[in-house]
Amino acid sequence: MDATTENSQCRSFSIKLWPPSQNTRQMLVERMTNNLTSKSIFTQRYGVLTLEEAEENAKNIEDTAFTTANQHYEKEPDGDGSSAVQLYARECSKLLLEVLKRGPGTKEERGVLASEETKDDKQELESEKVSAAHETLFDISKGKRSFLEAEEAEEILRPLKEPGNSYTKICFSNRSFGLGAAKVAEPILVSLKSQLKEVDFSDFIAGRPEAEALEVMKIFSAALEGSILKSLNLSNNALGEKGVRAFGPLLKSQSSLQELYLMNDGISEEAARAVCELIPSTEKLKVLQFHNNMTGDEGALAISEVVKHSTLLEDFRCSSTRIGSEGGIALSEALESCTRLKKLDLRDNMFGVDAGVALSKAFSRHADLTEIYLSYLNLEDRGTIAIVNALKESAPLLAVLELAGNDVTAEAAPVISACIAVKQHLVKLNLAENELKDEGAVHISKALEEGHNQLEEVDMSTNFVRRAGARLLAQVVIKKPGFKLLNINSNIISEEGIDEMKEIFKKSTDLLGPLDENDPEGGEGDEESGEGEGNEDELESKLKNLEVGGQDD
């Protein structure tokens, strides 16, 4: 079941770029293997690796790069995954170059290694036994994504049967368990359930017929019923209500959960009600993630009941879940009880203005917030103003603020800038796809001028910003010691303004994002409104005298 939604009426359909398919990953490994064994300027200088050595290095490079990029995507999801793809490519290139420069091992080195391995075989075996006894994580997700049947399951799960093992965390993700494999796993899970603390069953039934998938879920659920888990991940399984109820015995027995992940699970209104009904207690819950489901307003009402009783909640993600105004208001009111909240992600829903105002009331109680993701919620000026006014008096350690795609105009800019001015721990600011124009850009620039030495990224793309606003913003951010990226693309900056931007960043070109979608002629029809290029110097002189201030909602 594909739970991907198109929640905002003003947004176009987008394609997910991350994660790459297993086929794509394998092709990259083969390409790198070829680079390590083919004649090139590097191999001529440093030497050609043997095929065996090249394949091993290529697999390690790809695996390391994938892990790094995937951690980035999970920590800072960006919608289509493009930044994760870029990081993946950069890491592969960097590590490949390191291997090329290191060159092949010499015969002597290989001989010494072989000798040492032969001499220490017994010691190594003993060491492995000791290591296995102290290992806490058992993870089968790193290999090729494929079906898992009984015979292979017997082999792959063998370490879990070792007497005296210390596994407290298991990850069965990325392998699709058939009924035979599930029956192999069943007694193993039963034997481990008293010691397990973290269980990841995400994406473990992909491609299975519904009847078989439900039976597998029931087997796993019954096997771990009564365990005392801290973390449970059931994401990417297209659960729906049937799947949630298949996990009923396990969910009903959990009263100490600290983390629960139900992302991309087809969590409909009925499924959300089942979750609310089955989990006996969420008093210890710190992380709750429902990203990319089809929950809707009615489902949000059920989730709100879970949230309301999760008073220790620190990380709540309910993005891309088709929630409108009624559900948004209910969630906002429920969040008032979560006074320890640190990270909130509600992106890509249809909250609207009233839900935004309701959310602002909750923010007055959230002093510990460090990351807020509220893009594409249809907040408009009134909802945005209410939120930033509340945040101005709360969340002193706020590091990430995202309000992209909310139809925010320059009228809200003074209030937004007043909030930003006092957030001296700000690392990332995203106000893209609004209508802040030059006036808004200058307000934001003024707010960032003093302090903000931790600032790394600002996104003001697609805001009808012209030369004056873009130039001032560039002049401000370039002075920040750890700054990494300014995205000012898809605006209406003149050719002269583009040249000025490039001049400002000439010593740090990587800090300025692409400008390929800028439209220097995009504002030619604005002469009558006094916003044409000919009036820009006058506009700039007026805007520079603006002071950062606020206004009441």
pLDDT in tens, 275-293: 999 999 999 999 999 999 9
pLDDT at 435 over 70: yes
Please compute the mean of the pLDDT values over residues 537-553 and round it to a whole number. 49
pLDDT at 176 over 60: yes
For 124-154, write each residue's pLDDT tens digit: 444 444 444 467 999 999 877 899 999 999 9
By three-state DSSP, how is residue 139 classified? strand
Beta strands in 241-312 (DSSP E): 259-261, 287-289
Instruction: Kindly report which listed range (44-58, 78-92, 100-114, 415-429) carries the lowest average pLDDT score.
Output: 100-114
pLDDT at 532 over 60: no
pLDDT at 355 over 90: yes
By three-state DSSP, how is residue 428 classified? strand
- 141-146 — which CB contacts under 8 Å span 24+ positions? 141/171, 141/172, 141/173, 141/174, 141/175, 141/200, 142/63, 142/174, 143/174, 143/175, 144/22, 144/26, 145/22, 145/174, 145/175, 145/176, 145/206, 146/22, 146/175, 146/176
For 481-502, write each residue's pLDDT tens digit: 999 999 999 999 999 999 999 9
The residue that leads in pLDDT, 294 or 545, is 294
Provide the pLDDT for residue 11: 43
Residue ranges in 146-247 assigned as alpha helix (H): 150-156, 179-192, 210-224, 240-246
**Residues 344, 369: contact at Cβ < 8 Å?**
yes
The residue that leads in pLDDT, 29 or 292, is 292
The residue that leads in pLDDT, 217 or 36, is 217
Instruction: Kindly report which listed range (32-46, 147-161, 294-308, 449-463) carries the lowest average pLDDT score.
Output: 32-46
Q: In sequence order, which residues have a C-beta less than 8 Å from that of residue 263 and are 6 or more positions away?
A: 235, 236, 289, 290, 291, 292, 293, 317
Whole-angstrom distance, CA of residue 469 vs CA of residue 482 = 22
Please compute the mean of the pLDDT values over residues 368-395 and round it to a whole number. 97
Backbone angles phi, psi at 516, to 5 degrees: -70, -20
Can you read off the two tokens belonging to residue 324? 């409108």
Provide the pLDDT for residue 123: 52
Looking at residue 512, the DSSP 8-state letter turns out to be B
Confidence tier at 393 by pLDDT (50, 70, 90): very high
pLDDT at 106 over 60: no
By three-state DSSP, how is residue 494 classified? coil
- How many CB atoms lie under 10 A from the CB of residue 9? 7
Please compute the mean of the pLDDT values over residues 160-181 and round it to a whole number. 95
